[in-house]
A and B are shown apart, each in its own frame.
Chain A
Amino acid sequence: MKFKFKDRDRADKLVQLINRQVPDRRIKIVHVCGTHEVSITENGLRSLLPDRIDIREGPGCPVCVTPTSDLDAALQLAERGAIVAAFGDMMNVPGTAKSLSELKSEGADVRLVYSVSEAVKIAAGTDKQVVFLSVGFETTTPMTAAVLEDHPPENFSILPSNKLIPPAMESLLELPDNDIDGFIAPGHVSTIIGVQPYEKLADKYDIPIVVGGFEPLDILYSLGLILNQLSISDPKAENGYTRAVDHEGNSKSKKLIKDVFKETDTTWRGIGTIPNSGLTLNRDYEKWNARERFEVEPRQAEETSPNCLCPQVITARATPEECKLFKDKCTPESPHGPCMVGEEAMCNIWYRYGGRPKL
């Protein structure tokens, strides 16, 4: 297949390069993307890298960062008789009382969709209200915007829970002594937003930010670029995924987001509220907002799990054991923060193995 980059010879050479370049100290690289984590894990990349390189998954998948209150709103609407459509990713994420799939097994009409278009199709074929749980970052938001610009049926609406990546990265950088040596920026978010937003961050915080693709060689290449920047002390935003990311991004998609949504403060599970890090519908599209249409009870304030040490764990300033919630209250079945969600998330690994096993 074209666009597959898996050859072992180049992988060996890139790993050698990384070994040569890595400074004689611990290097913390943070990525903020579930798909990066899947690729790193599925290809066993950590086992190829020197121990000194510590790659951590930051807050970058809607599963890990969607606050309980947004799930509760979706659950509430399904219980009140609406058809709730959601991505597969969200089906097993626990709300306060239960998950969408649990509610579905109790008889509520919850539908798994692969695309927001499917949710619109469901609405076109029924008189019932259809609510789409609109999670996602810059990659996924244009699709929701596109269907709203396209005049969906009147019985369609969305629960906006869309988030922005650069403010989340900045919130990690704002933490004192964050000790992050570099970011791998999410490739497909960058396909939409381009490289520009990272340039501001790289300048302001003097940190390497490399936009990375998702093939194993892409990720090794991105690490190579970060280490290069570190070795010549020239931190900057750099595009390591040129085949899919233009400097300016995707102008049509960016315009769709701008036309339909507006920035708002929003809550990230386990992290708290980050200013201007979320999107909600702007005045012209407010009528599609399920929160307004159905008077969903407002978000609860106790959202942030004040004892969750996720931000510290992600930035390697705390181990999972230092967290009061770890193991007793926070488990893979009932996670409080993003670090417990997913097989390779830090707390999840610690939960199962008591540390990251060296393979």
Chain B
Amino acid sequence: MCLAIPGEVLNVDEDRATVDVGGVEQEVRLDTLSEDVVEGDYLLVHTGFAIQKLSPEEAQETLSLFDELIETNKQLEEEREV
């Protein structure tokens, strides 16, 4: 279960933040998160609470992981065929 979606932090007010999800604003509580949050951070939001900080670099890293799996697998396959 558990629908959680990424949103960009527009502003922070103590243990609350407003995040932007595709032009839609949602207030989010931060007291379920260990890390500090600042404007511009990305948060994973579940039922109006932040459950994780995300970084745009990690988005890029995710793609690299996909590609890595695809590549190593291809190589393995080629080795097997040889």
Interface residues of B in 31-82 (CB under 8 A from A): 31-34, 42, 44, 46-49, 51-52, 54-56, 58-59, 61-63, 65-67, 69-70, 73-74, 77
Contact of B31 among A3, A5, A146 (CB under 8 A): A146
Interface residues of A in 118-160 (CB under 8 A from B): 118, 136-137, 139-140, 142-143, 146, 150
A20 cross-chain contacts in B, Cβ below 8 A: 73, 77
Chain B positions 10 through 35: 1 when the CB is less than 8 Å from some CB of chain A, otherwise 0:
00000000000010000001011110
* CA gap between A140 and B51 in the complex, in Å: 9
Most central of B33, B56, B73, B74 by chain A CB within 10 Å = B73
Pair B1/A242 contact, Cβ less than 8 Å: no
Total A-B contacts with CB atoms under 8 angstroms apart? 132
A182 cross-chain contacts in B, Cβ below 8 A: none
Pair B42/A2 contact, Cβ less than 8 Å: yes
Contact of A243 among B58, B69, B73 (CB under 8 A): B58
Pair B34/A146 contact, Cβ less than 8 Å: no
A139 cross-chain contacts in B, Cβ below 8 A: 1-2, 4, 46, 51
* CA gap between A188 and B5 in the complex, in Å: 10
- Indicate whether A2 sits within 8 Å of B46 (C-beta atoms), given known contacts A13-B70, A225-B69, A244-B52: no
Pair A21/B67 contact, Cβ less than 8 Å: no
CB distance from A50 to the nearest CB of B (A): 15
CB distance from A2 to the nearest CB of B (A): 5
CB distance from A114 to the nearest CB of B (A): 6
Contact of A186 among B1, B47, B49 (CB under 8 A): B1
* CA gap between A33 and B69 in the complex, in Å: 24
* CA gap between A185 and B55 in the complex, in Å: 22
| A189 touches B (CB below 8 Å) | yes
Pair B51/A10 contact, Cβ less than 8 Å: no
- Indicate whether A114 sits within 8 Å of B47 (C-beta atoms), given known contacts A146-B32, A150-B31, A250-B32: yes
Residue of A nearest to B33 (CB): A252
Pair A243/B70 contact, Cβ less than 8 Å: no
| A217 touches B (CB below 8 Å) | yes
A253 cross-chain contacts in B, Cβ below 8 A: 32-33, 51
CB distance from B7 to the nearest CB of A (A): 10
* CA gap between A358 and B20 in the complex, in Å: 39
B61 cross-chain contacts in A, Cβ below 8 A: 242-243
Pair B56/A2 contact, Cβ less than 8 Å: yes
A143 cross-chain contacts in B, Cβ below 8 A: 29, 32, 46-49
CB distance from B78 to the nearest CB of A (A): 11
| A117 touches B (CB below 8 Å) | yes
B34 cross-chain contacts in A, Cβ below 8 A: 250-252
Contact of A228 among B3, B4, B65, B73 (CB under 8 A): B73
CB distance from A231 to the nearest CB of B (A): 9
Pair B32/A3 contact, Cβ less than 8 Å: no
Pair B51/A191 contact, Cβ less than 8 Å: yes
- Indicate whether A14 sits within 8 Å of B66 (C-beta atoms), given known contacts A146-B49, A228-B73: yes
Interface residues of A in 25-48 (CB under 8 A from B): 33-35
Pair A224/B47 contact, Cβ less than 8 Å: no
Contact of A3 among B2, B33, B42 (CB under 8 A): B42
A137 cross-chain contacts in B, Cβ below 8 A: 1-2
CB distance from B49 to the nearest CB of A (A): 5
B48 cross-chain contacts in A, Cβ below 8 A: 114-115, 117-118, 143
A residues with a Cβ closer than 8 A to B are 1-3, 5, 10, 13-14, 17, 20-21, 33-35, 60-62, 87, 114-118, 136-137, 139-140, 142-143, 146, 150, 186-189, 191-192, 213, 217-218, 221, 224-225, 228, 242-245, 250-253, 256
Would you mind naming 25 contact pairs between A and B with Cβ atoms under 8 Å apart?
A2-B42, A3-B54, A3-B59, A17-B73, A17-B74, A35-B2, A60-B1, A117-B49, A137-B2, A143-B32, A150-B31, A186-B2, A188-B2, A188-B4, A189-B1, A191-B4, A224-B73, A228-B73, A244-B4, A244-B44, A244-B52, A244-B54, A250-B34, A250-B51, A252-B34
